[in-house]
Chain A
Amino acid sequence: MKRTFSIGGVHPHDSKISRGCAIEPLPLPPTVYLSVAQHIGAPAKPVVAPGDKVKVGQVVAEPGGFVSAFIHSSVSGTVKSVAPRKDLAGNEVMTIEIAVEGDEWMEGIDTSDTILTEIPDDNKAIIEKIRLGGVVGLGGATFPTHVKLSPPPGSKCGMVIINACECEPYLTSDFRTLLEKGEQVVIGAAILRQVMGNVPCTIGIEENKPEAIEHIKAVIEKLSKISPKYQGISVLSLKKRYPQGGEKQLIDAVMHRQVGSGALPISVGAVVQNVATALAVYDAVLKNKPIVDNSVTVTGECFPRQANLLVRVGTPLRFILDYLGGLPENAVKVISGGPMMGRAVSNLDAATLKGTGALLMLTEAQTRRKPASNCIRCGKCADACPMGLEPFLLNRLAKVDDLEALEANAVQDCIECGCCLYSCPANIPLLDNIRLAKGAVLRAIRARATKK
């Protein structure tokens, strides 16, 4: 019996139709747009002005606080403007526009394909390099990695978990990264486990990626012969189930420990990092290469050409789609991310962010919601909720704005995975209401904290 998390979850069809497509570099766009809010936390502060010449890897925005990250130019060229621009949801965000001229990289960045296996011993220097490389969690939440690697005093890490579940349907960029850059990912994982105090490291991969499991096992065997630093890394094949890639779910699946309400993973001794983050850590520490590109899955049944692309951060979405033959006529919705948790794109002129992992195109039949009917008290949503919440109850409380009862029923623990909505036979928009209520409750909790 393979391991998985203990409560809730659903089994959507995995639809990984782009799994055979190797990662190919996308040509440089004529212009890139770098948003200053590419991570959770304070937005970065631009340090360039219109007219400045920049090279690939040059810092264009500095962290705006402790929980914030550097942003580097992903291209070489001239800064055109630093002004608000509409993001993929149509909201205005401060954006640095750079006209691309050539492809000149900063000195000191190793752009060769040589795999470096020598991990430096100075952990502080490693974390500083990760910070300077603008590394953020690329699994979706884009939490600055250096903050995660500096746990609060008194807490002790017992295991580093590399999140290679990729449990969302359609997404294959992490899978391709494992196959094509397995060495780099494992070295990145070794760096992470050394920083956390030479703790064991587990790479959790879902069973629907057997090639990746075999490949990573072979890579670990090969590398552990080179240096003892690579011993202690293991691969764990997990049962396929959504949302296994959720931080708390993965910890439950791998360590059989449950993170309490409102607590951080470090409270049970775990640090979880995504595959792409491990790769970014490798790049930042050993190659001096900040995050300037990331792999993006472009997929959808209605899309004639599936692809996994290596895209420079800030590439306009329309440029990516045009490169692959344009938006198909029967595609009515473009989603940034997976079908379960991704966000619908309302503005194709918006640009990719560091955390953009996929562009998914859906047809009318795939996406149109059926009309909601009354709750029949079947309890499927409560069965499906991986956080052990009662979505039907939260939905009802959310409708009457009963914030106290919502907080008592732990609406703030909702991870917005969408399992309740997916499993509801009455098509009730559970998550829409719960998400609003969660926002209101979190605001109330924060307001209370600042009052004290």
Chain B
Amino acid sequence: MTQTIIWTIAIVTALGLVLALVLYLVAEKFKVEEDPRIDEVEKTMPGANCGGCGFAGCRAFAEAAVSSETLDGIFCPVGGNDTMAKVAGILGIEAVAKAPMVAVVRCNGTCQNRPKVNDYDGYPSCRVKASLYSGDTACAWGCLGCGDCVAACTFGALSMDPETGLPVVDEAKCTACGACVKACPKSVMELRAKGPRGMREYVSCLNRDKGPSAKKACAAACIGCGICVKTCTHGAIVLENNVAYIDSSKCKLCRECEALCPTGAIHGVNFPKPLDKDAVKARVQERQRKAREAAAAAAKAAAEAAAQEPQKKEEE
């Protein structure tokens, strides 16, 4: 009896040792060499696997970061500059700091501003709705209001405002991963630079229709009048396809365009003081008057100089 037990233990132990040796040898033989820095980089990542960086997940991002020589085009929008600095530290290369971004809703077609012209009773999805027709308002460019962006947001930063029918971005939660930008069939969502202390100016409209029909469709539409372009002294605003766009890298946040926009399509957010439209308007008008006078004076001087030239010649 005792002998049987001893034999059993001995055989199983010997078997275990032999198999362990085989496993060890096989593992040594077929070992996959992996850069240990990949694990290190992955640890510093937020771990949301949101895909906002353009890679399949945080691990894929880490692999790409380790295998590339520079961090050009490799940026984790969720972790931001802090994470990228850590990643750069591990890899011993330099990270280029990026301005923090935030998702912005470029439509102000609230229920009041943009009356409905028909009822949509199909499947409540913006993608489906956009594939069927131009939408339930007279504006074919704006928010469709079915909340595909809200569904796409993995950080809970987006919600639909039942009063306006438009999505609202919670800036504290938004990581600028860009999932909403991809989900929106009308490209209403845009990632913009967050701006100093969150202050930023943007055109909250995408309507490319001509002024009268845009205005008819929505009271807050950009009508493509170009006043903002003329007002802007920093060359930050371009007017294309009947709709203005503010380049956030050039914008100096003077809020003049916002004050002068006739439809209120330009929005400024997170400014400490409310905009005193009349004062800004008066300031701009004063400046433009002076500019006109200066131009007129210069023209006059030029004309006089031109008139005097022949006289001088005659005198000679």
Q: Interface residues, chain A, CB within 8 Å of chain B?
A: 86, 89-92, 332-333, 343-344, 346-347, 367-369, 429, 432-433, 435-436, 439
Q: Contact: B121 with A369, CB < 8 Å?
A: yes
- Scan B125-167; emit 1 where CB is below 8 A from any A CB, else 0: 1011001111110001000000000000000000000000000
B24 part of interface (Cβ distance < 8 Å): no
- The main secondary structure of chain B at its interface with chain A is loop
Q: Which residue of B lies closest to A88 (CB)?
A: B133
CB distance from A367 to the nearest CB of B (A): 7
23 sample A-B contacts, Cβ–Cβ < 8 Å, listed by A number: A86-B134, A89-B132, A89-B133, A90-B135, A90-B140, A91-B133, A91-B140, A333-B121, A344-B132, A344-B133, A346-B118, A346-B134, A347-B118, A367-B121, A369-B121, A369-B122, A369-B123, A429-B122, A432-B122, A432-B128, A433-B128, A435-B128, A436-B131
Q: Contact: B134 with A432, CB < 8 Å?
A: no
CB distance from A282 to the nearest CB of B (A): 35
B-side contacts of A346, CB under 8 Å: 117-118, 133-134, 136
B119 part of interface (Cβ distance < 8 Å): yes
In B95-118, which residues have CB < 8 Å from any A CB? Answer: 117-118
Q: How far is the CA of A347 from the CA of B137 in the complex (A)?
A: 11
CB distance from B290 to the nearest CB of A (A): 42
CB distance from B278 to the nearest CB of A (A): 39
Q: How far is the CA of A368 from the CA of B125 in the complex (A)?
A: 16
Q: Contact: B121 with A90, CB < 8 Å?
A: no
Q: How far is the CA of A318 from the CA of B306 in the complex (A)?
A: 66
Q: A368-B121, A369-B122, A429-B123 are in contact. Are A436 and B128 (CB under 8 A)?
A: yes
B-side contacts of A439, CB under 8 Å: 131
B-side contacts of A433, CB under 8 Å: 123, 128
Partner of A89, one of B123, B128, B134: B134
Q: Which residue of B lies closest to A431 (CB)?
A: B123
CB distance from A361 to the nearest CB of B (A): 14
Q: How far is the CA of A347 from the CA of B123 in the complex (A)?
A: 19
Total A-B residue contacts, Cβ distance less than 8 Å: 44
Q: Which residue of B lies closest to A429 (CB)?
A: B123
7 pairs of A and B residues whose beta carbons are closest in the complex: A90-B134, A89-B133, A429-B123, A432-B123, A432-B128, A346-B118, A346-B133
Known: A344-B132, A429-B123. 7 other contacts (CB 8 A): A86-B134, A90-B134, A90-B140, A346-B134, A429-B122, A433-B123, A435-B131
Q: How far is the CA of A143 from the CA of B67 in the complex (A)?
A: 52
CB distance from A354 to the nearest CB of B (A): 20
- Scan B151-190; emit 1 where CB is below 8 A from any A CB, else 0: 0000000000000000000000000000000000000000
Q: How far is the CA of A436 from the CA of B134 in the complex (A)?
A: 16
Q: Which residue of A lies closest to B136 (CB)?
A: A346
A343, A347, A435, A436, most chain B CB atoms within 10 A: A436
A-side contacts of B122, CB under 8 Å: 344, 369, 429, 432
A-side contacts of B131, CB under 8 Å: 435-436, 439
A-side contacts of B118, CB under 8 Å: 346-347
A-side contacts of B123, CB under 8 Å: 369, 429, 432-433
Q: How far is the CA of A367 from the CA of B119 in the complex (A)?
A: 12
CB distance from B147 to the nearest CB of A (A): 15
Q: Which residue of B lies closest to A364 (CB)?
A: B121
Q: How far is the CA of A435 from the CA of B122 in the complex (A)?
A: 13
CB distance from A70 to the nearest CB of B (A): 28
CB distance from A447 to the nearest CB of B (A): 18
Q: Which residue of B lies closest to A439 (CB)?
A: B131
A-side contacts of B140, CB under 8 Å: 90-92
B-side contacts of A369, CB under 8 Å: 121-123
Q: Which residue of B lies closest to A89 (CB)?
A: B133
Q: Contact: B119 with A332, CB < 8 Å?
A: yes
CB distance from B297 to the nearest CB of A (A): 45
CB distance from B141 to the nearest CB of A (A): 11
Q: How far is the CA of A347 from the CA of B117 in the complex (A)?
A: 9
Q: How far is the CA of A89 from the CA of B134 in the complex (A)?
A: 6
Q: Contact: A90 with B133, CB < 8 Å?
A: yes
A-side contacts of B121, CB under 8 Å: 333, 367-369
Q: How far is the CA of A179 from the CA of B101 in the complex (A)?
A: 67
B-side contacts of A344, CB under 8 Å: 122, 132-133
Q: How far is the CA of A92 from the CA of B128 in the complex (A)?
A: 19
Q: Which residue of B lies closest to A86 (CB)?
A: B134
B-side contacts of A429, CB under 8 Å: 122-123, 128
CB distance from B143 to the nearest CB of A (A): 15
Q: Which residue of A lies closest to B119 (CB)?
A: A332
Q: Which residue of A lies closest to B135 (CB)?
A: A90
A-side contacts of B119, CB under 8 Å: 332
Q: A90-B140, A332-B119, A346-B118 are in contact. Are A432 and B125 (CB under 8 A)?
A: yes
Q: How far is the CA of A369 from the CA of B117 in the complex (A)?
A: 20
CB distance from B112 to the nearest CB of A (A): 21
Q: How far is the CA of A343 from the CA of B118 in the complex (A)?
A: 14
CB distance from A177 to the nearest CB of B (A): 30
Q: How far is the CA of A344 from the CA of B131 in the complex (A)?
A: 12
A-side contacts of B128, CB under 8 Å: 429, 432-433, 435-436
B-side contacts of A432, CB under 8 Å: 122-123, 125, 128
CB distance from A213 to the nearest CB of B (A): 37
Q: How far is the CA of A90 from the CA of B118 in the complex (A)?
A: 11
A-side contacts of B135, CB under 8 Å: 90
Q: How far is the CA of A92 from the CA of B138 in the complex (A)?
A: 12
Q: How far is the CA of A90 from the CA of B123 in the complex (A)?
A: 18
CB distance from A395 to the nearest CB of B (A): 11
Q: Which residue of A lies closest to B134 (CB)?
A: A90
CB distance from B238 to the nearest CB of A (A): 23
CB distance from B208 to the nearest CB of A (A): 10
CB distance from A99 to the nearest CB of B (A): 21
Q: How far is the CA of A253 from the CA of B119 in the complex (A)?
A: 39
A-side contacts of B136, CB under 8 Å: 346
Q: How far is the CA of A429 from the CA of B127 in the complex (A)?
A: 13
CB distance from B96 to the nearest CB of A (A): 32
B-side contacts of A92, CB under 8 Å: 140
CB distance from B209 to the nearest CB of A (A): 9
Q: How far is the CA of A343 from the CA of B122 in the complex (A)?
A: 12
A332, A333, A346, most chain B CB atoms within 10 A: A346
